Amino acid sequence: MDKLCVPPRLLTRLSLLTVICLLVSGMSACGPNGHQEDGKIPFNEDSVQNHIISIGLAREYTHDFRVAIDSFNRICGNFKDSMKFGYAESFPRDVFAALLDESDPKQGTAKGIRIYYGRGPNGTIRLVMVPYDSLGNDMIGHIVDLKGKPAPGNAHVEALSAGAGQAAEEGQQCPTLCDNGGSGLNP
């Protein structure tokens, strides 16, 4: 019987080389932060489809909201200054990625983002975002650590210390920073 005689040390090196090749080829479709090479973040379409509405319905909702706010502000002029509703608030992609990357030993990994309505000191209504776990409980952990760097832009210094629980906020408000009207959501 012909036997292939391969020294054990060579076999170990070949096995290690095979594992490395498989790992590299398996990860070649992914870029930094688990994104695919095309820059898209993978998602489950079945989870998303229950949350999708037509752009026509979205335009109707945003139009009705603007009309209601404008009407309310005319009727209750002095209330207008204590509750300043914008039409929209935008956040960069990294904010959502950081929230969704949250995990801890007790709650596991984040399953989604909950958005609370808040009111800032000048009366501006704000969107306050926290990740939530598989049971629907808020995950209050430490999202970002500047390691002694000065707080950028609007960041609140007390929220950036290593032991503090954090949430995301300070989006760009519309009016001021708005779509150019092409979407029909804010004509």
Q: Return the pLDDT at 147.
A: 66
What gap in Å lies between CA 94 and CA 102, rounded to an integer? 13
Decide if 132 is inside a domain: yes
pLDDT band for position 60 (50/70/90)? very high
Amino acid, single-letter form, for residue 29: A
Amino acid, single-letter form, for residue 87: Y
Mean pLDDT in residue range 68-82? 80
Within this chain, do residues 76 and 99 fall inside the same structural domain, yes or no? no
Decide if 167 is inside a domain: yes
What gap in Å lies between CA 162 and CA 180, rounded to an integer? 39
Within this chain, do residues 150 and 89 fall inside the same structural domain, yes or no? yes
Q: Return the pLDDT at 46.
A: 86
Decide if 152 is inside a domain: yes
Within this chain, do residues 94 and 168 fall inside the same structural domain, yes or no? yes
More confident residue, 182 or 137: 137
State yes or no: pLDDT of 90 exceeds 50: yes
> Per mean pLDDT, which of 16-20, 79-83, 89-93 is the most reliable?
89-93
CA distances from 90 to 73, 122, 127, 162 (A): 23, 19, 10, 26
Within this chain, do residues 117 and 164 fall inside the same structural domain, yes or no? yes
Q: Are 102 and 108 in contact (CB under 8 A)?
A: no
Q: Are 170 and 154 in contact (CB under 8 A)?
A: yes
Decide if 16 is inside a domain: no
Compute the radius of gyration of the chain from its Cα atoms.
25
What gap in Å lies between CA 50 and CA 79, rounded to an integer? 36
Which domain covers residue 54, as residue numbers?
A: 49-81
Q: Which tens digits make up the pLDDT trace of 5-58? A: 444 443 334 343 333 333 333 333 444 445 466 777 888 888 888 888 888 899
What gap in Å lies between CA 97 and CA 6, rounded to an integer? 48
Within this chain, do residues 68 and 92 fall inside the same structural domain, yes or no? no
What total number of domains does the chain contain?
2
Decide if 93 is inside a domain: yes
Within this chain, do residues 89 and 76 fall inside the same structural domain, yes or no? no
Within this chain, do residues 103 and 56 fall inside the same structural domain, yes or no? no
Decide if 8 is inside a domain: no
Backbone angles phi, psi at 153, to 5 degrees: 45, -120
**84-113 burial string, b = 16+ CB within 10 Å, else e?**
bbbebbeeeeebeebbeebeeeebeebbeb
Decide if 41 is inside a domain: no
More confident residue, 74 or 173: 74
Within this chain, do residues 76 and 56 fall inside the same structural domain, yes or no? yes
Decide if 76 is inside a domain: yes
Q: Which tens digits make up the pLDDT trace of 138-179? A: 988 887 776 655 555 555 545 445 456 887 777 877 877 777
Structure tokens at 36: 């695919």
Within this chain, do residues 138 and 155 fall inside the same structural domain, yes or no? yes
Structure tokens at 1: 């019987």
